[in-house]
Amino acid sequence: MANIGIIGAGSWGTALALLLYNNGNRVTVWSIMPEEIKMLKEFHEQKDKLPGVILPDDMEFTTDLEASIVGKDVLVLAVPSPYTRSTSAKMAEFIKEGQKIVNVAKGIEENSLMTLSEIIEQEIPRADVSVLSGPSHAEEVGRGLPTTIVVGSKKQDTAEYLQNLFMSPVFRVYTSSDVLGIELGAALKNVVALAAGIADGLGYGDNTKAALITRGIAEIARLGISMGGRIETFYGLTGIGDLIVTCASMHSRNRRAGILIGKGATMEEAMKEVKMVVEGVYSAKAGYALSQKYHVSMPIIEQVNKVLFEGKSASEAVGELMLRDKKVENIDLRQLYQNDVKVPW
């Protein structure tokens, strides 16, 4: 049995708390919001964000950050991505050397263009930081529906330890050393999901969504490979797998926000209506900035930014995507070799 601290009591943190408890571990859940902890203590249910999922009577809930960290074998960092840095900074004084921290949020910091694990490592350099990602809506994990996911770590023994910790009959866990690729896929699929939602809001069909998913993963993979990620990551669970579920499911807050924008709502109105952090909005500018930095063409990411932040109409953005210059779908590898260009895979 491990002693685990869940830092963040939103839907995903709550679902993972129940999963880890059911795996035989002792679990403490922390939130910065006293009213959230009061609700969890009184009802043993995250009524606002994960209604219907009942938590056990002996699960612990607290607003005391130190108590949720000290003496824990593993910390699961489950705060929304915009709060990763500030929360990590507050955690730092309580963290022991080699403390295992698993980040489960998805995003890229807008100003620094750092991934979330990079932020945690910067704020808590003594920690052993890993990531958990994949097609995994909290609403389904909380209900015990079968899910498959990937844990990414730079250390094989840490990856295998966490694999054993999270693995269950309904939660299959793979391991990977491509932490960067996992995080880029996780963050940028949310931006593509906004585009898919916008297309739904405009009344477009399945063909449009299939095109967005397919060309979206091509954009993400181009950037990821340029930054040092591995091609197989982007065509695996944390790339195309997570992208498909986020673009297709009404559990996806990014898709729901996109639908509202496609129907004419502003970005601010859509975020208010969804009532949870829409991660894709925060990752959109960072994704476009990375495309510029690494000289990678990412037209879907670019058009989402124009709709979100420049007042461009959604229908105009789709039109511009359709009328771009003619392209080939896949580069002929023979041309790359003839031009002495190294292919990262």
Place of tokens 């932040």: 309
Contact 94, 34 (CB under 8 A): no
The span from the CA of 161 to the CA of 237, in Å, is 20
Q: So what's the pLDDT on residue 327?
A: 74
Q: So what's the pLDDT on residue 320?
A: 84
Q: What is the pLDDT of residues 257-276, one digit of tens each?
A: 999 999 999 989 998 998 87
Q: So what's the pLDDT on residue 332?
A: 52
Q: In the predicted model, is pLDDT for residue 340 greater than 90?
A: no
SS3 category, 102: strand
The span from the CA of 184 to the CA of 181, in Å, is 5
More reliable by pLDDT, 106 or 342 = 106
CATH fold for the domain made of 180-338: N-(1-d-carboxylethyl)-l-norvaline Dehydrogenase; domain 2 (1.10.1040)
The residue extents of the domains of the chain are 3-177, 180-338
Question: What sign results for the dihedral spanned by CA atoms 164, 168, 174, 179?
Answer: negative
Q: So what's the pLDDT on residue 318?
A: 83
List the beta bridge partners of residue 3: 26
Region at 311 (left for phi over 0; alpha for psi -120 to 50; beta for the rest):
left
Q: So what's the pLDDT on residue 130?
A: 98
Q: So what's the pLDDT on residue 265?
A: 93
Eight-state DSSP code of residue 83: G
When pLDDT is cut at 50, 70 and 90, the band that residue 343 belongs to is very low
Q: So what's the pLDDT on residue 184?
A: 97
User: If you average pLDDT over every residue of the chain, what do you get?
Assistant: 93
Q: Does the active-site annotation cover 327?
A: no
Mean pLDDT of 291-304: 96
Contact 165, 2 (CB under 8 A): yes
Q: What is the pLDDT of residues 185-200, one digit of tens each?
A: 999 999 999 999 999 9
Task: Name the residue among 81, 99, 76 with its Cα closest to residue 19.
Answer: 76
Mean pLDDT of 110-137: 97
Task: Name the residue among 241, 253, 249, 311 with its Cα closest to residue 283.
Answer: 253
- Fold agreement (3-177, 180-338): no
Among candidate residues 189, 272, 306, 312, the one labeled active-site is 189
Q: What is the pLDDT of residues 90-100, one digit of tens each?
A: 999 999 999 99
CATH fourth-level superfamily of 3-177: NAD(P)-binding Rossmann-like Domain (3.40.50.720)
Q: So what's the pLDDT on residue 156?
A: 98
Q: In the predicted model, is pLDDT for residue 333 greater than 70?
A: no
SS3 category, 223: helix
CA torsion, points 260, 263, 267, 270, in degrees to nearest 10? -30
Instruction: Give the tokens for residue 129.
Output: 């930081």
SS3 category, 197: helix
| 128-133 vs 147-152, strand pairing mode | antiparallel
Could you give the percent of the chain with pLDDT greater than 70? 94
Q: What is the pLDDT of residues 211-225, one digit of tens each?
A: 999 999 999 999 999
Q: So what's the pLDDT on residue 81?
A: 93
Q: So what's the pLDDT on residue 341?
A: 46
When pLDDT is cut at 50, 70 and 90, the band that residue 277 belongs to is confident
Q: What is the pLDDT of residues 18-64, one digit of tens each?
A: 999 999 999 999 999 999 999 999 999 999 999 999 999 999 999 99
When pLDDT is cut at 50, 70 and 90, the band that residue 321 belongs to is confident
More reliable by pLDDT, 326 or 6 = 6
Instruction: Give the tokens for residue 192.
Output: 């593509």
